Amino acid sequence: MSTGMGYYTVDSVLPDVSLPVSPSVDASEAAGQVLDAALDQAQDLLLPALVGLGSLSGALLAGRAALAGTQLLAEAAIRAAGAQRELRRQRVDACRAAECWRQAAFAAAGVNARIETLAVRVRKAELPPGPDGPPVPPPLSPVGMTLGQLWERLAATERRLRSAEAAQARAELERTPLVATGVPGSDRLALRLRERRARALAEYALTTSADAPRDRPPERPVAPSGESAVSFGVELIARLPPDVDPADRLLVEEAVAVAAEEAAAGRAAAAGRHLREAEQFADRAVRAAGRRREAREWAALQLGFLRDAPAGLPPEAANALPTAPPDEIALLERTLDGGEPPDEALRARIGARVGNRTSALRQLYTAQVVRAVLRRTADGSRAAAPARERGRGTAQNAGNPPGTVDWTPPGWGGEHWLRLIPTDSGHARVVTMHRARPAGTETEDDRDRDRRRCAEAPRQLRALERLLDRAEVTMRLTFDPVPVPAPVSVPEASAARAPVAADRARARRGDGPQARALDRPDRPDRPKRSDRPGPEPRR
């Protein structure tokens, strides 16, 4: 039978694709209104806030989020908030709904990484629990939610998260000692610095990533007086991020206090030098906090995808996904705990693990979309029955890789079908199948029907490709030429060699002349075996 090879890509992840927990569930029940709208090419049909996230769609989006990086996830959170305001009452097409879900799923992954990072900071700080302690919110699990529900949960969770981040920073602020220079009034300056820092943290807790003000850093005075030096230092410390290291913040406070002392004594040049030093300390503190934050959130993203089973997937499908070895999981946990940026070798290794797992999910997702497309077509086609219903001819189906789809095109009856096998490498293979026939019973009519089905297979696959294009899955397959027997004319040169070939075949069977290189008639110059001198007799 004929075979075909090609490739497939998932251009956009439609949100409502699931893998049924029970094998008896029809594939069409695992895909919802977004796929229906895509296949109908309907416009202005969907209200994105009412679209729910399926298990396969959620797992695949989580993998793509882990590959995207923390900066892209932070930007996705801002775009998701904008989409919520824009599309809550607006109907859009399937592609726009898929993009809304991608942004929301990426934002959820980013928030979960921040939650895990804050939990580590709270644990390492060993702060005693209390009514003012940081209440770390639970992570989000988008699978099963509608987009409207996830939008609401995202906004509420980020408010709680920013409140907890501010509470953690406030607790660290209260635990560190006040800066004291021994100069009269230094205690009042230290309290003023702390009060402004506490107000800044309270303002941080009341905003979200989307509406947080993008303040410019304060402008350092050229010839600072006592008050201008203090005002600059107060705003410099207030703008430090909540997760700045307390020791780094103390360095900035000390430099500001010394600058204020020099300015009060009328030494403007010395005050300016110390303010510049405070500015440098603050810049280094911000960059160090950013590196720790990125490393921890990156590790949390990878761990959440590689270590945890995808929500909503059947256990057999989740257990079959590629995983990372224990030593790599331990390295990720160490990065999350310590905040040390990983080297490029570790990033590459983990990226490959995430890519392999994402490719396996893409394979399952593509197969499920193909099943849903085939079952939904209204032209009389039907998906092939499971192997147990097809008799001995498909007993080998049990050994096929995950995602194998059997399909009987319209008019093919129960004797032939197409087997589509998307692989986790992005390639796809198609085979024209037929029932196994007992030995010696195959007729010429059977072989002729096999050839007709092989010739029809490319046309059937072209129609499937067009439907998959609508579902944002690009699949392109090329079939091998169908073998058709035809008369073969033998050239004279070939005819002259034919008897030689026949003689060699008989020689291999043992029923013809067995020529050897040493006594061939076309090499008279070579001595025959009987003329060759033998070994001398022993004496």
Tens digit of pLDDT for each residue in 105-153? 999 999 999 999 999 998 888 765 444 556 889 999 998 888 888 888 9
Q: Helix (H, G, I), strand (E, B), or coil: what is residue 329? A: helix
Question: What pLDDT is attached to residue 373?
Answer: 82
The string of pLDDT tens digits covering residues 317-348 is 888 899 899 999 999 999 999 999 999 999 99
Inter-residue contact 252 to 285 (CB < 8 Å): yes
Per cent of the chain over pLDDT 90 is 24
Inter-residue contact 467 to 4 (CB < 8 Å): no
Identify the DSSP state of 7.
Answer: E
Q: Find the helix or strand (DSSP H, E) in which 157 lies.
A: helix 147-175
Question: What pLDDT is attached to residue 445?
Answer: 87
Question: What pLDDT is attached to residue 523?
Answer: 39
Q: Helix (H, G, I), strand (E, B), or coil: what is residue 6? A: strand
DSSP per position, 51-78: PBPPHHHHHHHHHHHHHH-HHHHHHHHH
The per-residue b/e assignment along 454-469, b for 16 or more CB within 10 angstroms, e otherwise, is bebbbebbeebbebbe
Of the candidate ranges 86-90, 161-165, 177-181, 252-256, the one whose mean pLDDT is the lowest: 86-90
Q: What are phi and psi of 65, to 5 degrees?
A: -65, -40
Return all residues near 346 (Cβ < 8 A) that are at least 6 apart: 328, 331, 335
The string of pLDDT tens digits covering residues 249-287 is 999 999 988 888 888 888 888 888 999 999 999 999 999
How many other CB atoms are there within 10 angstroms of residue 227's CB atom? 12
Question: What pLDDT is attached to residue 35?
Answer: 57
- Which residue would you say has higher pLDDT here, 85 or 7? 7
Q: Name the burial class of residue 239, with classes exposed (0-12), middle (13-18) and buried (19+) by CB atoms within 10 angstroms of its CB.
A: middle
The angle formed by the CA atoms of residues 377, 20 and 18, to the nearest 5 degrees, is: 70
Residue 474, beta-bridge partner list: 9
As a whole number, mean pLDDT of residues 362-366 equals 89
Inter-residue contact 350 to 335 (CB < 8 Å): no
Q: Find the helix or strand (DSSP H, E) in which 492 lies.
A: helix 492-509
Measured distance CA(149)–CA(15) in Å, rounded: 14
Question: What pLDDT is attached to residue 375?
Answer: 77
Question: What pLDDT is attached to residue 26?
Answer: 38
Q: The tokens of 259 are what?
A: 């600058």
Measured distance CA(148)–CA(77) in Å, rounded: 15
Inter-residue contact 56 to 368 (CB < 8 Å): yes
Inter-residue contact 110 to 293 (CB < 8 Å): no
As a whole number, mean pLDDT of residues 285-304 equals 94
Q: Predicted confidence band at 528 (pLDDT cuts at 50, 70, 90)? A: very low
Residue 407, beta-bridge partner list: 383, 418
Q: Predicted confidence band at 488 (pLDDT cuts at 50, 70, 90)? A: very low
Residues in the chain: 539
Distance set, CA 254 to CA 176, 179, 180, 268 (Å): 13, 6, 8, 17
Long-range contacts of 67-70 (CB under 8 A, 24+ apart): 67/351, 67/354, 67/355, 67/358, 68/106, 69/298, 70/110, 70/113, 70/293, 70/294, 70/297, 70/298, 70/301
Measured distance CA(324)–CA(349) in Å, rounded: 9
| Alpha-helical regions (H) of 176-307 | 186-205, 226-238, 246-264, 268-306
Residue with tokens 């035809």: 486
Inter-residue contact 405 to 473 (CB < 8 Å): no
How many other CB atoms are there within 10 angstroms of residue 538's CB atom? 4
- Which residue would you say has higher pLDDT here, 244 or 135? 244
Measured distance CA(455)–CA(486) in Å, rounded: 16
Q: Predicted confidence band at 478 (pLDDT cuts at 50, 70, 90)? A: confident
Question: What pLDDT is attached to residue 396?
Answer: 34
How many other CB atoms are there within 10 angstroms of residue 497's CB atom? 12
Question: What pLDDT is attached to residue 491?
Answer: 43
Q: What are phi and psi of 487, to 5 degrees?
A: -60, 140
Of the candidate ranges 178-192, 426-440, 525-539, the one whose mean pLDDT is the lowest: 525-539
pLDDT at 170 over 80: yes
Q: Predicted confidence band at 489 (pLDDT cuts at 50, 70, 90)? A: very low
Of the candidate ranges 356-365, 452-461, 491-500, the one whose mean pLDDT is the lowest: 491-500
As a whole number, mean pLDDT of residues 399-405 equals 74
Question: If we measure between CA atoms, which residue out of 521, 517, 420 comes closest to residue 476?
Answer: 420
Q: Predicted confidence band at 295 (pLDDT cuts at 50, 70, 90)? A: very high
Q: Predicted confidence band at 490 (pLDDT cuts at 50, 70, 90)? A: very low
pLDDT at 383 over 60: no
Measured distance CA(297)–CA(62) in Å, rounded: 14
pLDDT at 215 over 90: no
Per cent of the chain over pLDDT 70 is 71
Amino acid at 23: P
Amino acid at 295: A
Q: What is the mean pLDDT of the chain?
A: 76
Q: What is the largest CA-CA distance in the chain?
A: 124
Q: Find the helix or strand (DSSP H, E) in which 99 lies.
A: helix 94-125
- Which residue would you say has higher pLDDT here, 471 or 206? 206
As a whole number, mean pLDDT of residues 491-516 equals 39
Measured distance CA(25)–CA(408) in Å, rounded: 19
Measured distance CA(12)–CA(60) in Å, rounded: 10
The string of pLDDT tens digits covering residues 45-103 is 455 556 678 888 889 999 999 988 777 777 777 766 666 665 555 555 566 777 888 88
Q: The tokens of 23 are what?
A: 């094998």
Q: Helix (H, G, I), strand (E, B), or coil: what is residue 363? A: helix
Question: If we measure between CA atoms, which residue out of 148, 157, 12 comes closest to residue 93?
Answer: 12
Question: What pLDDT is attached to residue 86?
Answer: 58
Inter-residue contact 453 to 472 (CB < 8 Å): no
